[in-house]
Amino acid sequence: MKKTSFFQRSELTSVLATFQQEFWAVGVFSMVANLLMLAPTLYMLQVFDRVLVSKSELTLLALSIITFFLFCVMAFAEWMRSRVLVRAGVRLDARLSSRVFNASFDAYLNQTGGAPPRAFGDLIQVRQFLTGNGVFAFFDTPWVPIYIGVLFILHPWLGIMAIVFALIQGALAWWGYRTAAAPSEAAVKASSDVNVYLQSKLRSSEALEPMGMVGNLQGPWHTRHLNYLTENAKAQGVTQRIAAVSKFIRYVQQSLALGMGALLVIDGQLSPGAMIAANVLTTRALAPIDMMVGVWRGFISAREAFARLETLLGKYPQRDVALKRVAPKGVLSLRNVVASAPGRAAPILKNVSLDASPGTVTVILGPSGSGKSTLARVIMGIWTDVRGDVLLDGMPLQGWDRGELGPYIGYLPQDIELFEGTIAENISRFSELDSTKVIDAAKSAGLHDMILRLPKGYDTPIGEAGSLLSGGQRQRVGLARAVYGNPMLVVLDEPNANLDDVGEAALMGTIGTLKALGKTVVLITHRPGAIAAADQLVILRDGAVQMTGPREAVLEEMRVAQAIAQQKAPAIGLAPVAQA
């Protein structure tokens, strides 16, 4: 029977465990560097107690050459441990960057409120801490007892004094950790709230400025900004108090070490050289602890970033790269699908079931708020809170690798999202450019002639989020992207909302072509002209399927229902039911 470890490592911890060789190397170089830190102490002892007494220049030269060589070795060890950590940081980024990208994308896609994940900022923070000076304090601290032991050799009182100050600085480090944790976390959260609020409003600047809403939104921003300033001032105040106390203790320690050494020299228990050496050695012995006091805020931030990364990677595990399936045929089935949203008592979709076969066009109709766009997101697998079955070729949509499935899926959302790049890159989904497929997709969207009139044609940059294009042009580019490569399943959410007659005619031609090629097309629209292309109609109302079936049968059912409603309307004093 396979034994399971009591301690289950997280994915992030497992990745860090693969850097054991690097950490061992840093430990070895730290050992060499810290042992050679005794060289200045020994040099002072020899100079004061031997060279000055013997007045031997040859002895001084030999001691200086040996000490210089030891300093070179120490500098090499310091440089090598820094180099090893920097390379480990680069490797850590290479190991985790793609993984964090996929996990943060999934988290952003599945977020239902609050700030988007700052995964890459967390990764950078962890990497910088692991490759910065702060981590050296953790490697140097184990050598503090060695230095204190040397002080005991020089004189017991020097060692006792070093232990006392080590305990004081250790207590200061613990107090700094307990005191600085909450203010630092509050300051980081307040800063994130300000940035998220500001970025969300800047994305809508074109709507805010004409309607004079900038001043109205400045108040909430200013409140958040003042809160950030307050929390940041608290965090900095705590950090500065800790730094001030640490500096006071350090100065007191240096002075007392020198004073105690002088007292021992006066009593004849210590030589002058040992007094100077003990002062330097005491400072060096307590330097790692003092450094830990200074890096507590960075350590706390790195620890919180590590915890957020660990949670993110645990919540959105690695996609199965070995998962391979044959190309889908496009058979779509929904069984008793219920879609909900946080803060909403009733579900958006209620027990929706439908089937769409290759070579057919399914048109979904319904009033605003009936759940049409939510249904499109459910079909695409990008709605999080879903119960029921969404099947593609009889397999749950979550069972497909999205990178592998993507080329066989076309999706045009109601809110068009384009990306900074050229028209050709956006149409080709930023994959390897195939000129023939790009032109065919552009022609399908009625976009080809317009593109040729642009100065750089298909190589024309569209700006961030397609800002250099009109609404109709953005929708046509999005439509061309959706049909690029003739995918097996195409879902179009209001594709003709911003199209003119030429564009709509091209759209109907594209839908006919996709149908003739045996593709599955799901079309969400409010325009009656699209009904003519439908093989089956689905009528949504209040999140439930009110009518579904072949086009003629549903239209006949709607006509009968309307006629009955018109007959009853005069009797009950109601206006005739509007035609769907």
pLDDT band at 579 (very low <50, low <70, confident <90, very high): very low
Q: Where are the alpha helices (DSSP H) in 37-132?
A: 38-46, 52-54, 57-110, 119-131
Spatial distance between the Cα atoms of 147 and 286, rounded to a whole number of angstroms = 9
Could you tell me which residue, 70 or 241, shows the higher pLDDT? Answer: 70
Q: What pLDDT does residue 573 have?
A: 44
> Is pLDDT at 517 greater than 70 in this prediction?
yes
Spatial distance between the Cα atoms of 276 and 41, rounded to a whole number of angstroms = 8
> Is pLDDT at 6 greater than 70 in this prediction?
no
Of 580, 191, 161, nearest to 366 by C-alpha is: 580
What's the mean pLDDT in 477-488? 88
What's the mean pLDDT in 38-58? 81
DSSP 528: G
510 within 8 A of 453, measured Cβ to Cβ: no
pLDDT digits 0-9 by tens, 71-83 = 999 899 889 888 8
Could you tell me which residue, 495 or 316, shows the higher pLDDT? Answer: 495
pLDDT band at 65 (very low <50, low <70, confident <90, very high): very high
> Is pLDDT at 458 greater than 60 in this prediction?
yes
Q: What pLDDT does residue 575 have?
A: 42
Give me 426's structure tokens.
Answer: 């956006």
Could you tell me which residue, 438 or 287, shows the higher pLDDT? Answer: 438
pLDDT digits 0-9 by tens, 548-578 = 888 888 888 878 877 787 776 554 444 443 4
What's the mean pLDDT in 476-480? 87
190 within 8 A of 155, measured Cβ to Cβ: no
pLDDT digits 0-9 by tens, 324-371 = 556 788 889 999 999 988 777 888 899 989 999 999 999 998 888 888
3-state secondary structure of 492: strand
pLDDT digits 0-9 by tens, 154-202 = 888 888 888 888 888 778 777 877 777 778 778 877 877 777 777 666 6
Burial of 73 (0-12, 13-18, 19+ CB in 10 A): middle
Q: What pLDDT does residue 114 have?
A: 41
Query: What is the DSSP pairing of strand 544-550 with strand 536-541?
Result: antiparallel
pLDDT digits 0-9 by tens, 97-123 = 778 877 777 776 665 444 445 777 788
418 within 8 A of 474, measured Cβ to Cβ: yes
Contacts of 271 (CB under 8 A, 6+ apart): 45, 48, 49, 265
Q: What pLDDT does residue 580 have?
A: 41
Q: What pLDDT does residue 30 have?
A: 86
Q: What pLDDT does residue 456 have?
A: 87
Spatial distance between the Cα atoms of 95 and 14, rounded to a whole number of angstroms = 11
499 within 8 A of 476, measured Cβ to Cβ: yes
The most confident of the ranges 14-23, 69-78, 258-267 is 69-78
Spatial distance between the Cα atoms of 275 and 64, rounded to a whole number of angstroms = 20
Spatial distance between the Cα atoms of 517 and 358, rounded to a whole number of angstroms = 9
Quote the mean pLDDT of the chain. 80
> Is pLDDT at 7 greater than 70 in this prediction?
no
% residues pLDDT > 90 (the chain): 4
Residue owning tokens 């579904």? 548
274 within 8 A of 42, measured Cβ to Cβ: no
